[in-house]
Amino acid sequence: MPADSEFNDLVSAWYDPLYRFAISLAKDPEDAQDLTQTTFLKWARKGDALRDRSKAKTWLFSVLYREFLDHVRRARRYSDDELEADRLPATDSADAERVIDGRTAVAALDQLDKRFRAPLVLFYLESHSYQEIAEILDIPIGTVMSRLRRAKDRLRAILETDAKSNEPIPFPRKEAQS
């Protein structure tokens, strides 16, 4: 870690120019402040590695720019506008009524006996083949297939009862894997 007086001198000399550069990139005072502080934090951690101290200015500005690019990438990846209503798929009211929320599905799964729940979870949520499930649960492959069928039937009955509707709730079908 660089000496305290050297670090303080560096901050005094370059904070304002780095901040102005950051504000010109980020267009937001708080983001610019974060970028500038992160740049000095990196200097505090890695500044000793720079042999030629005359290149400190270039190093600092380069680090700030790379931090800005990382910030933009992260902001794009976790953008809030991905969840805007106009980007969600359109559904009519009949489809909306048949949508099962996660809590309902988990509660219905919890109501299943474990000998039916385990193969269902392994097949549909963990994507195991019938053979793999048979090995994991140490039961014959025919038993896996029959338990899956009964588990889906029971799960459908639970969900229909909870929804208090006579219309069957669609259950995703998966091709049999052997």
pLDDT at 30 over 70: yes
Top mean pLDDT of 7-11, 57-61, 143-147 is at 143-147
Q: pLDDT tens digits for 76-126?
A: 765 544 434 344 444 454 554 455 566 777 788 888 887 888 888 778 876
User: Which of 57-66, 108-117, 164-173 has the least mean pLDDT?
Assistant: 164-173
Residues 151-155, mean pLDDT to the nearest whole number? 92
Tell me what pLDDT residue 66 has: 82
Amino acid at 118: A
Tokens describing residue 66: 């790379």
Distance CA(25)–CA(22), nearest Å, equals 5
95-163 folds as Arc Repressor Mutant, subunit A (1.10.10)
Choosing among 1.10.1740, 1.25.40, 2.40.50, 3.30.70, the CATH entry for 4-81 is: 1.10.1740
Domain segments of the chain as ranges: 4-81, 95-163
Characterize 25-44 residue by residue with b for buried, 16 or more Cβ atoms within 10 angstroms of its Cβ, and e for exposed: bbeeeebbeebbbbbbebbe
Distance CA(4)–CA(159), nearest Å, equals 65
CA diameter of the chain? 78
Q: Name the percent of the chain lying above pLDDT 90.
A: 21
| Contact by Cβ (8 Å): 108, 158 | yes
| Contact by Cβ (8 Å): 67, 22 | no
Residues 153-163, mean pLDDT to the nearest whole number? 83
The angle subtended at Cα 18 by Cα 25 and Cα 38, nearest 5°, is 85
pLDDT at 172 over 70: no
Tell me what pLDDT residue 85 has: 37
Can 4-81 and 95-163 be said to share one CATH topology? no
pLDDT at 57 over 90: no
Tell me what pLDDT residue 54 has: 82
- What is the residue-averaged pLDDT of the chain? 77
